[in-house]
Amino acid sequence: MPSETPEFIEDLVEWYQGVRRTLPWRTSRDPYRIWISEVMLQQTTVAAVIPYYDRFMTRFPTLATLAAASVEDVLEYWAGLGYYSRARNLHRAAQALQKNIAASGSFPQTHLELLEYSGFGDYTARAVSSLAFGERVGVLDGNVIRVISRVDGRRSEWWKPAERKILQARADAWAAEKKCDPSDINQAMMELGATICTPKSPSCMLCPLRNACVAYQHRTGKLSPSALPLARPRRTLEIWHWKPEVTLKKGAVRLIKNDYAPFLKGHWILPGTATIKTTKPKRFHLRGSVTHHDIYVELPAKNQNTSIRSRPSPQNECWIPLQNLKAKVPSSLIRKAIDTTLNLRTK
């Protein structure tokens, strides 16, 4: 078992301070700015996030402005990043945080306090508490898992709770080095994984940890960099046949709060039916994907303006003017379904 606090942490931080990238969320230790960046960076690359982050922060420069906004406004500025439940949770947490700050006068500073809010998972809470407030806790994202697995020579099923707990303890041990700022330690680990200790073809000769790295010492075999960490088994794609209804009235389209399809749960979508299939449907107009859902869209027949088959409660139904679709409906699949239906009806 590796020593509790690695001896190379100072070397890692010194390397980071010399090569770190200039990123917009690194300009301050504002917990709000750090929080937004960490949520956006989940499932998305740094290069892709930067323009969205700049746009979002221009519109919502403070926690107060985000809390005061409507969820539709937040979704509009999130559009393109995907995983829209993140934006909804972010908005709910912003409102709760703003209320808490009004009562206590300060932003929660520990990861345990932050975990009480819907927009904070374990990783996000630890990232904000350590990067903004210097709490000595480690972060555990894909980059950090890869670095620790290779340095320790650990062949673990890291996606399982018991193994993640062990890896979290290792990340915590790295962040415990009192000679260094935990913000620098955690960011150094993430930076190393993103730029040097990459999934494929890592630049081991440039790595400040190569002399302590078990994977580098082995070079080949089961403990080599190319073999670590273990690959997570892929989640099986589900095939769904979606038949949306497109109802127009005075230049507006009818949408409902999704309570029938497993994809885009809680979003404003077209009413209709969604059926799981074992094979690809033979008839469809569009194909899209949302997380592990492979969606085949069959649109209404030509010149068919579907009737309203069911009437949900008023708060679960809305009519969106076609010219406002992009602003109000962030999912490109829904917009494509509406646009394609309109094109079919004019042919």
Annotated domain spans of the chain = 9-227, 238-346
For residue 314, pLDDT over 70 is answered with no
Range scoring the smallest mean pLDDT among 51-55, 294-298, 300-304, 330-334: 300-304
Domain 9-227 has CATH 1.10.10.10: no
Answer whether 9-227 and 238-346 agree in fold.
Answer: no
For residue 306, pLDDT over 60 is answered with no
Cis preceding linkage at 229, omega within 30: yes
State the Cα–Cα distance between residues 246 and 272, nearest whole angstrom.
9
Which backbone phi and psi does 233 adopt, to 5 degrees? Answer: -60, 135
State the Cα–Cα distance between residues 167 and 138, nearest whole angstrom.
10
Architecture of domain 238-346: Alpha-Beta Complex (3.90)
pLDDT in tens, 242-263: 999 999 888 999 999 898 999 9
The reported pTM is 0.81
Which residues are the active-site residues?
38
Q: What Å distances lie between residue 110 and 10, 100, 184, 187, CA to CA?
A: 24, 14, 17, 17
Q: Tell me, what's the pLDDT at 145?
A: 97
Q: Tokens for 334?
A: 């829904």
* Segment 131-159 mean pLDDT: 96
For residue 323, pLDDT over 80 is answered with yes
Looking at the chain, the whole-number percentage of residues with pLDDT higher than 90 is 72
pLDDT in tens, 168-196: 999 999 999 999 999 999 999 999 999 99
For residue 137, pLDDT over 60 is answered with yes
For residue 310, pLDDT over 80 is answered with no
State the Cα–Cα distance between residues 249 and 36, nearest whole angstrom.
38
Query: How would residue 97 be classed by pLDDT, with cut points 50, 70 and 90?
Result: very high
> In whole numbers, what is the pLDDT of the chain averaged over residues?
91
* Segment 87-101 mean pLDDT: 93
For residue 302, pLDDT over 70 is answered with no
pLDDT, greater one: 30 or 6: 30
For residue 57, pLDDT over 60 is answered with yes
Query: How would residue 156 be classed by pLDDT, with cut points 50, 70 and 90?
Result: very high
